[in-house]
Amino acid sequence: MKKAVFAILLSTAAIVAGPVACSKGDKADASYTVGTELGISKAAMDTSVKPGDDFYAYANGNWQKTTAIPADRSSIGAFYIAFLETEKRTRELVDAIVKSGGEPDTDDGRIAAFYNAYMNTKAIDAAGMKPVQADLARFDAITDKTSLSKVLGEQTRADVDPLNATDYATENLFGIFVTQGLATPGEVIPYVLQGGLGLPEREYYLSADPKMATIRTQYQAYIAKLLTAAGQTDVEAKAKRIYDLEAKIARAHADRAESEDFAKSAGVWTKADFAKKAPGIDWDAYLAAAGLNKASKFGAYHAKAIAGLSALVASEPLDAWKDWLAFHQINTHTDVLPTALDNAHFAFYGTTLSGTPEQRSRDKRALDALNTDLGDAVGRVYAEKYFPASAKAEVGDMVTGIKAAFAKRVNAIDWMAPETKKEAVKKVETIVVGVGYPETWRDYGSYTVSPHNAYGNVVAGEKAEYVHQLAKIGKPFDKAEWWMTPQTVNAVNLPVQNALNFPAAILQPPFFNAKADPAYNYGAIGAVIGHEISHSFDNNGAAFDSTGALRNWWTAEDLAKFNAAGAALAAQYDTYKPFPDLAVNGKLTLGENIADVAGLQAAYDAYRASLGGKEAPVIDGFTGDQRFFIAFAQTWATKMRDEALRARVATDGHAPGMYRALTVRNLDAWYKAFDVKEGDKLYLAPDKRVRVWG
């Protein structure tokens, strides 16, 4: 229910996220230099389609026709394939830990206790609403704006998922994200982010689109249904108050364009600034309750929204806020409350918003919950078994080669001024790359887990994470900090750290295949690596220098040329229409699209360099270059339910996979590999092919 826009903490694709990795017996990255198998899936292809007319269908057409979306999913694709294998491995690891029971006050003991409590739905149903009563009583005891401010502070939580930072829909009024400040290089501060919504983002409340209007009506009905299931009274009146308050919260929010303008979001506030610039909340009470009263500086990322939300605290009735607090406390914890609430939550968020017919099984959701609250504890066991140190080193070598290819392309740019080029090369050379798993692991010693209280465990886990994040404030900036667990099928660029994370789980088929030849692995995982490197140089990442500071290191002329290339790429994506009434938003998806183009080109260059001047062998009728591009397209195999596809196109910074596969249109080598000529539907004249970096 969240959308990412902060500091380009963006993934290769937010299609799915979940566990996986190379088995311990595999040589992982060594495969990219010694593998000889085809790698690409011929069965997935529809070779009756002309590559130059529809390359996605050529690479994935048969897969698209024959693959069914599982009943408990809103989409399926290459990421899901990797996720399933990771989930299977994680299941085996967790089952073994649960069976052994684990020693108390150890990570294994915490995993076993958390899992057993989460799985005991009989006990959860028997407990009814008792676990949440203490929280509801806190809200009911609010008598004035000061006590409201205190409770809002107590409810504050950390935004820690790099795919979901700067939430549009964090259920708390404000979210906190802790890292180096945009305007405070080297200094770690808490960012204050807008929140307070139950729908995915502000446009769901404000859009004139009839489909959005229908969702609004369904959401209000859902609020009433959930409150009824929770045993609340006067639910219709409460539902209206809650929705009306959220609509006002949405109007106070920064829109996506404003939220993505880092230069306008770098303001630093002192504690005293909150009362001056955002009156309404009792900020002393709020900051003390939030554990932030000792912080001397804050990143006011959504400054106008902070002021607007604070004003609502002053102007809106206490009863509306008390109802809102109660609803969100219940709504965000339905999976550990009685089954009727859990089912109602899924019916709205899973089926109405995403079109998913069935909820995932409880045991699978238990793994997801473990990955949230004890992710490093599970990840450590996972990495030890499935990702040896040798694989970590070998994949690191592949990253080094692609970094070098990117730097070479920058050096070859003829339109870029020497001073701009120098900083760009320095930036790519100093990127900190994390492969597989972090060097240090999270200590969960302060997190007490009960084998009998699922709700208490989840709430305690949220608080433990919040305390963990606040502990970074004022400490030396850690450029090597990880923001994903090893069992996550994804990758991330962290511009304020000038760092990349490549979790173990993405370093496996269909992204990496130990037995496949170099063309496949460079086209698949190589393009992922290139993509993440390139995020440091997309329309957002290019605003940060090699230290992670927000600083303009461009000449005016260079920036104008860079922006012109971005505009051309945005226009290209604007032409893609999954629905007659809805096109891909080229500007919204520009960062990802720039990273795709530049990353694929860097991966291709690194692949050619790996051949040492020789041509790759033809395997099963496919040349090396053909295998490279087909591998890339097959990693973007995507099938989505209409509801999920509409939501993706309307709100997400990642274009759907079927359009990302068409990145190849901008690379000259693709035209040569498949003999694409003028007149073919995907053909772009050489001067229309977007070359963002080189």
- pLDDT per residue over 121-131, tens digit each? 999 999 999 99
Q: Answer whether residue 497 shows pLDDT above 50.
A: yes
Cis peptide before 510 (omega within 30 of 0): yes
Distance between CA atoms of residues 254 and 308, nearest Å: 10
Q: In this predicted structure, what is the pLDDT of residue 694? A: 67
Q: In this predicted structure, what is the pLDDT of residue 14? A: 30
Same domain membership, residue 77 and residue 159: no
Same domain membership, residue 423 and residue 566: yes
**CB-count burial class (<10 Å; 0-12, 13-18, 19+) for 633:** buried
Q: Which residues are registered as beta bridge partners of 487?
A: none
Distance between CA atoms of residues 141 and 322, nearest Å: 9
Distance between CA atoms of residues 162 and 6, nearest Å: 8
Residue of 495 and 68 predicted with greater confidence: 68
Q: How confident is the model at residue 161 (pLDDT cuts 50, 70, 90)?
A: low
* Each residue's pLDDT tens digit, 403-435: 999 899 888 888 889 999 999 899 999 998 899
Same domain membership, residue 491 and residue 377: yes
Same domain membership, residue 610 and residue 526: yes
Q: In this predicted structure, what is the pLDDT of residue 239? A: 98
Candidates 563, 678, 626, 694; CA nearest to 686 is 678
In the block, tokens 């826009």 appear at 5
Question: Whole domain around residue 661: which residue ranges?
Answer: 6-92+373-439+480-688
Tokens of 544: 């940060």
For residue 412, which amino acid is it? A
Question: What CATH number should be reported for the domain holding residue 262?
Answer: 1.10.1380.10
Q: Answer whether residue 16 shows pLDDT above 60.
A: no
Q: How confident is the model at residue 570 (pLDDT cuts 50, 70, 90)?
A: very high
- Output the CA angle 174-178-179, nearest 5 degrees: 140
Contact between residue 17 and residue 87 where contact means Cβ atoms under 8 Å apart: no
Q: In this predicted structure, what is the pLDDT of residue 360? A: 95
> How many domains, in total, are found in the chain?
2
Q: Answer whether residue 582 shows pLDDT above 60.
A: yes
pTM of the full structure: 0.86
Residue of 21 and 326 predicted with greater confidence: 326
Instruction: Please list the alpha-helical segments (H only) found in 292-451.
Output: 303-315, 318-331, 339-345, 362-373, 375-386, 389-412, 418-429
Q: In this predicted structure, what is the pLDDT of residue 33? A: 41
Single out the residue in 291, 321, 351 at which a domain terminates: 321
124 within domain boundaries: no
Q: Answer whether residue 234 shows pLDDT above 70.
A: yes
125 within domain boundaries: no
Same domain membership, residue 415 and residue 522: yes
Q: Answer whether residue 539 shows pLDDT above 80.
A: no
Residues contacting residue 199 through CB under 8 Å, at least 6 positions apart: 1, 169, 205, 215, 216, 219, 246, 250
